[in-house]
Chains A and B, each alone.
Chain A
Amino acid sequence: MASRRAAIKAIDWAAFAERVPPNQKAMFVALKSRSDALSARLAALPEKPPAIDWAHYKAAVAKAGMVDEFQKKFSALKVPEPVDTQSDKVNAQEQEAEKSSAEYIQASKARIAQYEQQLQKLRSMIPFEQMTFEDLHEAFPETKLDKEKYPFWPHKPIADL
């Protein structure tokens, strides 16, 4: 039965738990408990049911053909394997996740580049002791006083003093 028994991979729950962000811990715990419940159930079930002792029944049951009939039907019976409907969904989800995570990583890298740029600008700034006010306004544009909007001293709303 090759189609059965999609190999159950060993999951490193510790490493998994490390990577879970704190706001998703509850979901992770739910998933883990479900997994553990399933594996407990799986371990409780025997892989094959015990064999039926046909000889004993043949001796015991008086009706002649019944046991033979049962035996024939039993060995002919094929238990259908349960059909896997969800794997495709999971695979589709995985593809989605790949795409969105690639996007996120792109955006994250862009943000990192931005931060790096700002950091670089700050690192290469001249020390404050050597700055004039013009240099200060260049380095920190928010310190520049808007003389058009507020033509009278102190050139900013009084509340901001």
Chain B
Amino acid sequence: MLSRLLLRAAPAALRSLPPPVTVGLLQAARPLHTTQQRPAPLPPLPEKGGEVRHGLIPEEFFQFLYPKTGVTGPYMLGTGLVLYLLSKEIYVINHETVAAACILSVIIYAVKKYGPAVADFADKLNEEKVSKAVAAKNKVMESLETAIDQEKQEQWRIEGRSYLFDAKRNNIAMLLEINYRERLLMVYNEVKKRLDYQVAIQNLRRQKEQDHMIHWVEKNVIQSITPQQQKESIAKCILDLKALSKGAQAAV
């Protein structure tokens, strides 16, 4: 304790000295925390504090006394101390004792009854914070993964680019082929049309000649029938009819 006092006085005294000496003396007197290193990441904080008995006395004290005094040692020590304080009136019982007793009992009752609830509430708050952060992180990770999948799918899509060009070349080939065939067909059709035309013309001409000739022959024949011949032929027809009718009557 005295060395601590000395150490506290030392900086004030040394401030008057020139700086390099101050620094050197200070460093020799008390090594400062000059290094920035610490284990990273921080080790996780312990979940629960140190064990205590009766809310006050650390368990390590009981363990410390156990080898020498067994299980009852600390209690005997405590009882003895309390009796000593009371009997020697080092601690005087007065009105404050009563007040302290009441207050402490109320506090202890409240903590024992509502402590866990409050602790759960605080834990829940913390949980929510952490879970929000974790959810955000998970969302980011998911979106990254989907992005990666989409990129891979786009790459797969690109691999099909040959289809497009095959289709285009096919179309071109088909067009050329169609064109060629159409041309052949056209040539054939034209030639056939012309030949058919010739044949049709011939037929038509023949037909017309025939008709004309027949017509001309008929006309001439009719012309050549003179009135004289007409009378003669009508008289002959009537004679023939009479002969026929006679014959016919006999047959009937």
Contact = CB atoms under 8 A, between A and B. Distances in A.
Interface of A: 4-9, 11-12, 15-16, 18-21, 31, 34-35, 38-39, 41-42, 45-50, 52, 57, 60-63, 66-67, 70, 74, 77, 79-82, 84, 86-87, 90, 93-94, 97-98, 101, 104-105, 108-109, 111-112, 115-116, 118-119, 122-123, 125-126, 128-132, 135
A39 to B, nearest CB: 6
B215 interface: no
B152 A90 contact: no
Nearest to B146: A115
Nearest to B174: A38
A48 B177 CA distance: 11
24 contacts: A6-B172, A15-B160, A16-B164, A34-B171, A35-B171, A38-B175, A39-B174, A41-B174, A45-B181, A50-B188, A52-B191, A57-B195, A60-B199, A63-B198, A74-B191, A79-B180, A79-B184, A108-B151, A115-B144, A118-B144, A119-B144, A119-B148, A130-B45, A131-B41
A61 B167 contact: no
B166 A9 contact: yes
Interface of B: 40-45, 130, 133-134, 137, 140-141, 144-145, 147-148, 151-152, 154-161, 163-185, 187-189, 191-192, 194-195, 198-199, 202
Q: Chain A binding site: helix, strand, loop or mixed by DSSP? A: helix
A81 B180 contact: yes
Contact of A52 (B134, B147, B188): B188
A122 B137 contact: yes
A15 B42 CA distance: 54
A45 B138 CA distance: 62
B180 A11 contact: no
Q: Chain B binding site: helix, strand, loop or mixed by DSSP? A: helix
A130 B134 contact: no
A129 B130 contact: yes
Nearest to A87: B172
B178 A41 contact: yes
A84 B160 contact: no
Contacts of A125: 137
A30 B184 CA distance: 29
Contacts of B158: 101, 104-105
B172 A84 contact: yes
A50 B179 CA distance: 17
A123 B168 CA distance: 47
B195 A67 contact: yes
B177 to A, nearest CB: 6
- What are the 9 A-B residue pairs with the smallest beta carbon separation, nearest first? A19-B160, A49-B188, A16-B163, A82-B179, A45-B181, A38-B174, A126-B41, A6-B173, A94-B165
A47 B181 contact: yes
Nearest to B192: A52
A127 to B, nearest CB: 8
Contact of A49 (B151, B167, B176, B184): B184
A28 to B, nearest CB: 9
Given A11-B166, A35-B171, A82 B137 contact: no
Contacts of B165: 90, 93-94, 97
B236 to A, nearest CB: 46
Contacts of A115: 144, 147-148, 151
B174 A8 contact: yes
B202 A61 contact: yes
Chain B CB count within 10 A is highest, among A19, A67, A74, for A19
